């Protein structure tokens, strides 16, 4: 199989973790006789610095003509700390989502037995957690009309949703639930917000078309609590843009590290794959960032291409690294391995498929010596 992939390194640790994904995709291509063609593009703070535009026209054109997009991270403190900034890195990502109509963000949340001790939750709550969040991505308050009064003493953000926007992502969520444990939870704030009442009305009407899927409804404040006290109850969570943004970041701590979780943003055409973590500028260039979220995002991309065996092998390799404590500094601050070393170990697993024969002395020599 031959595929064209647009690569957007982005900001902060984005280039480092995305490069490991590319190396691993190359290992997959070699093992399974595929061909992946990469085109590198600018977006975010890096693009602003070089072009003045967070999403250059060339980047958008490349993305539109690719089979998928592999994205690193976005954001920089010089923009985060300047409330007067008119151009921001995140505008590039929002514009890209809108231009490509990437209306659904899919974030799987799973726990690994080897990392249960890292979760702030008790082990009895994190064992066998496995759910997926479907977050609407191109509507709601993030894309509504934004206004300030002339005095600068009042601001507003408009939240708007249409039936069509809700139906298209709800269909995806229902279909995905059918492939899992046949349960869907709609998270809203229908006791207060009119947009949430529309969400609930539409999903209730659609539920009749999916009689095999059990549907329940939960207010967002309760959902935030339930993610902590009983995350195993969830299978597929469906929610609007801002609620999904917040809840998916909250859910990331269940796994033990923000650096472990991948995501896919899909719509009617080209899809985008990215780890859920931010740009983490404090770690940029130090070779200590966790690449596994980016690597697992690449696995989701292979799933999207229909390459199920290839995606499964990447996940198997990631599980092997965690089981054998080949982890980065965010997981073990003392005995950790570098970003590049984790990538190399996964590549070796994919190329050789003999992880049990990796000499312990060899991997010990590849531990970080950073103090």
Residue 291 domain flag: yes
pLDDT recorded at residue 348: 95
Q: Are residues 131 and 245 in the same domain?
A: yes
Q: Are residues 213 and 286 in the same domain?
A: no
C-alpha span between 181 and 174 (Å, rounded): 11
- Choosing from 142, 161, 210, 349, which is the catalytic residue? 142
Q: Are residues 261 and 251 in the same domain?
A: no
Residue 251, SS3? helix
- H, E, C per residue of 254-299: HHCCHHHCEEEEECCCCEEEEECCCCCHHHCCCCCCCCHHHHHHHH
Q: Is 161 a residue of the active site?
A: no
Q: Is 245 a residue of the active site?
A: yes
The H-or-E segment that residue 19 falls in is helix 14-32
Q: Is 189 a residue of the active site?
A: yes
Q: Digits of tens for pLDDT over the chain (371 positions)?
A: 999 999 999 999 999 999 999 999 999 999 999 999 999 999 999 999 999 999 999 999 999 999 999 999 999 988 877 777 889 999 999 899 989 999 999 999 999 888 888 888 888 888 889 999 999 999 999 989 999 999 999 999 999 999 999 999 999 999 999 999 999 999 999 999 999 999 999 999 999 999 999 999 999 999 999 999 999 999 999 999 999 999 998 998 898 888 899 999 999 889 999 999 999 999 999 999 999 999 999 999 999 999 999 999 999 999 999 999 999 998 889 989 999 999 999 999 999 865 455 545 455 555 654 54
CATH number for position 198: 3.40.718.10
Q: Is 249 a residue of the active site?
A: yes
- Tell which of 203, 231, 255 closes a domain: 255
- Tell which of 255, 286, 309 closes a domain: 255
pLDDT recorded at residue 362: 56
- Tell which of 198, 232, 255 closes a domain: 255
Domain holding 138, by residue range, is 120-255
- Bridge partners (DSSP) listed for residue 107: 133
- Choosing from 189, 280, 337, 349, which is the catalytic residue? 189
Q: Is 362 a residue of the active site?
A: no
């Amino acid at each position: 199989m031959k595929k064209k992939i647009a690569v957007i390194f982005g900001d902060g640790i984005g280039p480092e973790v995305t490069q490991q994904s590319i190396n691993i995709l190359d290992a997959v291509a070699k093992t399974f006789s595929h061909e992946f063609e990469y085109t590198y593009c600018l977006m975010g703070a890096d693009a602003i610095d070089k072009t003045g535009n967070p999403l250059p026209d060339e980047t958008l054109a490349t993305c539109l003509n690719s089979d998928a997009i592999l994205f690193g991270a976005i954001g920089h403190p010089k923009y985060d700390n300047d409330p007067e900034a008119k151009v921001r890195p995140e505008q590039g990502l929002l514009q890209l989502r809108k231009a490509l109509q990437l209306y659904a963000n899919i974030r799987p949340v799973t726990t690994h037995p080897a990392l249960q001790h890292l979760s702030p939750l008790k082990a009895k709550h994190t064992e066998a957690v496995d759910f997926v969040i479907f977050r609407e991505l191109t509507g709601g308050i993030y894309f509504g009309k934004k206004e300030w009064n002339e005095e600068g003493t009042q601001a507003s953000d408009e939240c708007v949703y249409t039936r069509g926007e809700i139906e298209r992502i709800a269909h995806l969520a229902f279909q995905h639930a059918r492939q899992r444990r046949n349960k869907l939870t709609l998270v809203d704030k229908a006791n207060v917000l009119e947009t949430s009442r529309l969400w609930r009305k539409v999903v209730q009407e659609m539920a009749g078309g999916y009689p095999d899927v059990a549907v329940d409804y939960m207010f967002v404040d309760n959902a935030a609590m339930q993610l902590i006290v009983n995350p195993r109850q969830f299978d597929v969570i469906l929610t609007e843009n801002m609620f999904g943004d917040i809840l998916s970041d909250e859910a990331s701590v269940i796994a033990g590290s923000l650096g472990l979780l991948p995501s896919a943003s899909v719509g009617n055409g080209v899809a985008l794959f990215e780890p859920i973590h931010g740009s983490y500028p404090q770690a940029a260039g130090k070779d200590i960032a966790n690449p596994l979220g980016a690597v697992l995002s690449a696995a989701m991309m292979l799933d999207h291409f229909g390459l199920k065996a290839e995606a499964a092998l990447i996940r198997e390799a990631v599980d092997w690294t965690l089981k054998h404590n080949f982890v980065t500094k965010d997981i073990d601050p003392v005995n950790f391995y570098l970003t590049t070393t984790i990538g190399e170990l996964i590549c070796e697993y994919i190329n050789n498929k003999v992880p049990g024969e990796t000499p312990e002395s060899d991997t010990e020599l590849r531990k970080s010596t950073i103090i």
